[in-house]
Homo-oligomer: A and B are copies of this chain.
């Protein structure tokens, strides 16, 4: 009998599914549309059909699945396997773990997608070998996952690993969460773009980004890094702030969780060294002189692939630990 592990990365637009052997070698993968408007039962059934079809290529049935992992955006009650609130999926108190378990007939682990990405990088990406590591996702918001002593940190009532809401500037910019001075209010892709737009509207007459704002009616984070590459001074100021607050975040994270590596993940890392080098510079500037830290700041490696492998790898891990039934 084959021992198949299935990784399901459920997003608002697409569902990525991969089938792996017990050594986490990818056998086959595919992507199908989520069709959120059809509701949870339809999504679960589409996942079931897709997995059946993928396994069918190998002459395998659902009964060959040892375990499956599914990751979703939103607020997840990991312990009880429930998606409490995921606006992108229109899920509310959805008992997704049980639904997938019923459809696939195997033990299932349900996890928040940022945690899954972190686990994927831990198992097969830039976090390989690190028993203590952190992944920071830079997108519309700032999120992430934390691994401590080789296990994901969820915290009591899943309150942990909300990295974007660590306060880096007391009394600072208002964050969507209601706090002031969260790192998310400065260093997410959207906050970086928003700070650029505010500066363009207030002054910065000489910035080459004025033309972008005029033509497109807005400025994206990508625009800002593009103009940084071309030497625009406003873009440099804006991205310096992005980097400095991320560096301050890393200093504080180091002093809490003591990660061996901190990985950055998400659309913003397309900026490459224009993003990473200033973070490293400010980290060296703000970190203590008491001792030399061996922490590594780097980019994640697996891209969106981290989702399927992370989910499958979590399923193998939890099964091994007797935490899946």
**A-to-B contact residues, CB < 8 Å:** 130-132, 146, 148-149, 151, 153-170, 175, 177-180, 244, 248, 251-260, 286-290, 293-295
Contacts and interface: CB of A to CB of B under 8 A. Distances in A.
Contact of A257 (B155, B177, B180, B259): B155
Contacts of A252: 166-167, 252
Nearest to A75: B291
B258 A256 contact: no
A295 B132 CA distance: 24
Given A151-B149, A167-B248, A170-B169, A258 B156 contact: yes
18 contacts: A130-B156, A155-B260, A156-B259, A156-B295, A157-B294, A158-B258, A160-B256, A163-B256, A164-B255, A165-B255, A166-B251, A166-B255, A167-B248, A169-B170, A178-B290, A179-B251, A179-B286, A256-B256
Identify whether the interface residues of A are mostly helix, strand, loop, or mixed. Answer: loop
Contacts of A155: 132, 148, 254, 257-260
The 6 closest A-B CB pairs, nearest first, are: A155-B258, A160-B258, A178-B289, A156-B260, A159-B258, A177-B288
A161 B132 CA distance: 13
A177 B248 contact: no
Given A167-B248, A179-B286, 4 more contacts: A163-B255, A167-B168, A252-B252, A256-B257
Nearest to A157: B294
